[in-house]
Structure formats: structure tokens, C-alpha cells
Amino acid sequence: MKKALLASAALLAFSTVAHAQSSVTLYGHLDAGLEFMNGVPTGPADAPATGNSHHFKAESGDWGTSLWGMKGAEDLGGGYKAVFQLEGSFNTMTGAGPGGGGLFNRWATVGVASNQYGTLLLGRELYIANQVWDFDPFGQSNWSSASLVRGRNWPQSSNNISYQSPKIAGLDFYGQYSLSNATNWNGNGTTTQGREGGAAITYTSPLFQIRGMYDEIRNPANGSLGGVYNRVDGSVLINNGNGVYAYSREYTAMFNLFLGQFKVNGAYQAIRSSGMSGLLPGQPTTLDHEWGGVTWQATPAAALIAAVYHVNGNNGAGNATIYTVGGSYNLSKHTLLDLQVATVQNSKTANYGLNANNYGTAASTDNPFPGHSQTGVYAGIQHSF
């Protein structure tokens, strides 16, 4: 009897230690609201727009992606721990999950972390271009730093090897490399993703933060840093890609300035492609993208934001500017109300929308007519857990 009690006590002690050394956390964000937008094209979904109108609809993810996930760590001893993260997006309004990206379309990683040496991960992650989030006044809301580059700043990436260094004297390094998994190193049309990769260096101080970043996304069809915009099938011109917005190099410099209740942001991006073919006038091979904004934390609960985003493309693509104001109010530690009002002004040949739409004039893109503006307002609620 005494031996049985001792064995039970030992098992209980081992279980307690194991539990203390391992942890799993379930987390998520739910974003929902109402959106009004004018300058919305009308007509058959896959044909050039024939008119324009407005919409008023329930929307999920305008202020921030609705997502859920889990992450965990296990103490390996010696200052090391095994870590994992699984994360997927969904539509709060409909409950629908991600499509072709899979259940965990944002994150599916496993790796090893050390406070002294940094973190090494393998798997699917948000692509390194998402690191503009920290320097975007609106935190990559639907109408912000991804809009005028048609989503170039917020893709996900598979087959990753990534490394995040510890912070030393205010400096830290992040690198990400994504394999194409094709027989050709850069991609040859046998896989859905070409080779991708990039690096970022950040310096942080109490007064300011700066980050320099380089990344590239290669076309899975041929490994190039460009894509065929159009091809002729008989007498029909078919859009066959998103060009510089999808496959290109990106050079980025960003800053945050911390001034008491105010935070000032600024950034410049040079996006460059090569090997483009099938171009028509108005389809760019280079983009220059910049933005600036200020956030006023008026009270611990209330923040007001104003920002301007601008893009200029070559080959007659023209330029566009988004002017936007908004803010948030925290009802509690985990729940906030948000509001954003924005307008995009296009030059004569440009047709950028408020959303990060694909290139083209089809009604399905939601892009306004070239030279036309588009204005919208969004009000919603977000809860985090």
C-alpha cells in the first residue's frame, strides 16, 4: 500500500512538471461591420464593367482579419523550447473558412526558439511583406497599405524556413525563404508557388523605430520576377495574371516616430518586375508606393487616425491617392468599435479601388472606371480572445 501511494505521488509530480513545461493557447479575432461604397462597377462578372453604382453590405475583415488559431511551447531545457502555431482566417458574417489555402491558411509552423539565439521556424507563414503592418497607420485594414499595390503587401507563403533574431542593442533581424518545391529552383509551372524570400532589419528605440526590408516573389510558371498580363486566344484578349502586383522585387524603408500621445508613420516602397510580356498601355512594370499618417491616442480608450497612401506606375498606369480618416474606441481590454472613411482619387488612366483588387476593368474586381474616384465608409466591432 505504501509503495502504491509513493508511485501515485511520483506520477502526480511528473504530471505537474510536464504541465508546467508545456503550454497551448487558443486565440482569435472576430471582425464584423457594415460598409457603404460608391463608384462600384456593374455588369457581367467576367466582362468589362458597363456601369457603376454603390453597395451597402455586411462585411467581415475591413478593420482586421477574422481568424482563430492555437500556439504552444514545450521547454526543452538549456534555454531552448519547441514552438508551434496554427492559424486560419474566416468570414464572421457567414462563418465560411478559407478556400484553397486550407484550414490553417495563415500559419502552420513548428520550430525551436531560444531567448539567446532567436527563433527558427518551418512551415506556412504570412509572407515577409506583411511586416509593413507595424508601420501602417491603419494596421493593414482593407483600405490601407495593400490597396494601391493590389494585395502585394499581404500574401501568405508556403514551404518556409524563417529566422527571427533576438534584439541586441535595439537591432533585430528577420529572414524568410520559401522553396518552390519544383524541379527548377525558381519554379517551372509544376507547383502553385515560385521561390520567395526576403530579409528585414529593424532598429527600435524609445523615440523611434526604423525598418529596411527586401523581398521577392517569383512567378511559379517560369521563375521570373514578372508575369504575362494578357494573351490572345483567337480574337479574345484574356487577362492572365496580376503582373508586377504578384511577381516582383520590393524594396521598403519605413519609420515610426513616438511623440507622447502621437505616433507618426511613414514608408516608401519601390516595386520592380522583369521579363514582363503581353503588356498593354496602362499595365505597369514598376511601382513607387509611399504613405504617411498620424495616430492620436486621445485617451487610453480612444484613438484617432489620419493617413495618405499614394502609388505611381509606369507605362501609362498613372497614379492614385487614398485619403482616409478613422479611429477606434475600446469598450474593454478585448473589444473595440472602429470607424474608417476613405476616398481614392485616380489619375486619368488609373483605376485603383479602395480594396486590394486584382488588375482589370471587370465588374468582379470592384475597381472604378479609369480616372474615376471611389469613396467608402466602414463601421464595425472587433473582439479578441
Q: What is the three-state SS of 79-120?
A: CEEEEEEEEEECCCCCCCCCCCCCCCCCEEEEEEEECCCEEE
C-alpha–C-alpha distance, residues 35 and 356, integer Å: 15
Report whether 282 contacts 318 (CB < 8 A).
yes
Helices (H), the chain: 2-21
* List of domains in the chain: 30-384 (2.40.160.10)
Burial class (CB in 10 A: 0-12, 13-18, 19+), 373: middle
DSSP classification of residue 356: -
> What type of residue is 184?
N
> What type of residue is 114?
S
What is the predicted pLDDT for the residue at 106?
A: 95
What is the predicted pLDDT for the residue at 178?
A: 97
pLDDT along the chain (385 residues), means of 10: 42 42 93 95 79 91 94 97 97 88 92 97 97 96 96 95 98 98 92 96 98 96 79 45 88 98 98 83 91 98 98 95 98 98 96 90 85 97 97
Q: What percent of the chain has pLDDT over 90?
A: 77
What is the predicted pLDDT for the residue at 233?
A: 47
Which of 2, 59, 4, 72 is closest to 30 using CA atoms? Answer: 59
Which of 362, 360, 245, 365 is closest to 311 using CA atoms? Answer: 245
What is the predicted pLDDT for the residue at 215?
A: 98
Q: In the chain, where do the E strands start and end?
A: 22-42, 51-59, 67-77, 80-89, 107-114, 118-126, 156-164, 171-178, 196-204, 208-217, 230-233, 236-239, 248-259, 262-272, 286-296, 302-313, 318-330, 335-346, 374-384
Considering the entire predicted model, what is its pTM? Answer: 0.90
What is the predicted pLDDT for the residue at 43?
A: 84
Dihedrals phi, psi of 119, to nearest 5 degrees: -125, 130
What is the predicted pLDDT for the residue at 327?
A: 97
Residue-wise pLDDT tens digits, 245-296? 999 999 999 999 999 999 999 999 999 998 777 777 778 999 999 999 999 9
Torsion of CA 189, 190, 193, 199, to 10 degrees: -90
Which of 321, 351, 358, 354 is closest to 340 using CA atoms? Answer: 354
